[in-house]
Amino acid sequence: MTEDIEESLVRRELQDLVLESAQIEEFLDGMVKIAARELTGLTGQEIYSAVTLLRPKRTATVASSSREAKNMDEVQYAFNDGPCLRAAREHYTVVVEDFHTESRFGEYARAVESHGLRSAIGVPILLEGEADAGLDLYCKEPNAFSAEAIDAAEQFARRASRSLQIAVRVSSLMESRQHLTAAMENRTTIDIAVGIIMGQNRCSQEEAVNILKAASSARNVKLHAVAAAVVEQVNQSSATTHFDA
């Protein structure tokens, strides 16, 4: 019954994180703290947790439950290898019983051991689409993760998968909205500048657009920046869009 209550609590906490997080980073920060708490309670050892979210055409998004976990993420990215990255990229659980005797990771394992950490597991968080994620759990003691602990970490990753998937979708929608708003604002400035040029030069809309494009090309400056300069000269202030943000 206790396990059921804990599972229900974790699921509710993850759902609350989705609702309360304004950015994907906030969700990930909360998620790794829950993971560290749960695995620390299960193993009786202090567990440090980190997560890596990989999305196309974006830098990796990372979060850590502690300074120790953050340091290990930095080591992992310096070597471009480690339990978390392998779990995220290849979708299988990676278990390191003792970095002192670990042979799969070469100098990376030595670097981790030099920071005082001895064991780790990397667990994939399976997501739909092109995003991948991996959960990293570290401990200063060797052989810290029993079969029960590994199973618990995998169960946590499965529970977190749904919530993270929703958080990623919400983040993508918010980014798309921001890009659309910026595009609308840029369009407003360009349209106003075209109107100003038409009035000043008594030319057609097409001719005014070509004048803007020629200035943009000659100065090697983006079209919107040239348009903003035209509007600034006339109004002594930047154009204000009428679209709601």
Reduce the secondary structure of 52-84 to three states and give it as a string.
Answer: EEECCCCCCEEEECCHHHHHHHHHHHHHCCCHH
User: CA angle at residue 159 from 11 to 55, to 5 degrees?
Assistant: 120
Locate all alpha helices (DSSP H) within the chain, ordered by sequence: 2-20, 24-43, 67-79, 83-90, 107-114, 147-201, 205-219, 223-235
Contact 242, 203 (CB under 8 A): no
The predicted pLDDT at position 113 comes to 95
Digit-coded pLDDT (tens) for 40-99: 999 999 999 999 999 888 888 899 999 999 999 899 999 999 999 999 999 999 999 999
Q: Positive or negative, the Cα torsion across 64, 67, 70, 76?
A: negative
Task: Average the pLDDT over 156-183 and give the result.
Answer: 75
Backbone angles phi, psi at 95, to 5 degrees: -115, 125
Q: Is the pLDDT of residue 5 over 50?
A: no
> 0.85 exceeded by the pTM?
no
Round to whole Å and give the CA distance between 38 and 33.
Answer: 9
The predicted pLDDT at position 209 comes to 86
Round to whole Å and give the CA distance between 229 and 118.
Answer: 59
Class of domain 181-235: mainly alpha
User: CA angle at residue 133 from 136 to 146, to 5 degrees?
Assistant: 35
Look up the CATH architecture of domain 2-171.
2-Layer Sandwich (3.30)
Beta-strand relationship, 132-139 and 119-125? antiparallel
| For the chain, domain boundaries | 2-171, 181-235
* Closest of 134, 120, 177, 129 to residue 28, by C-alpha: 134
Digit-coded pLDDT (tens) for 100-142: 999 999 999 999 999 999 999 999 999 988 899 999 999 999 9
Q: Is the pLDDT of residue 243 over 50?
A: no
Q: Positive or negative, the Cα torsion across 172, 173, 178, 180?
A: positive
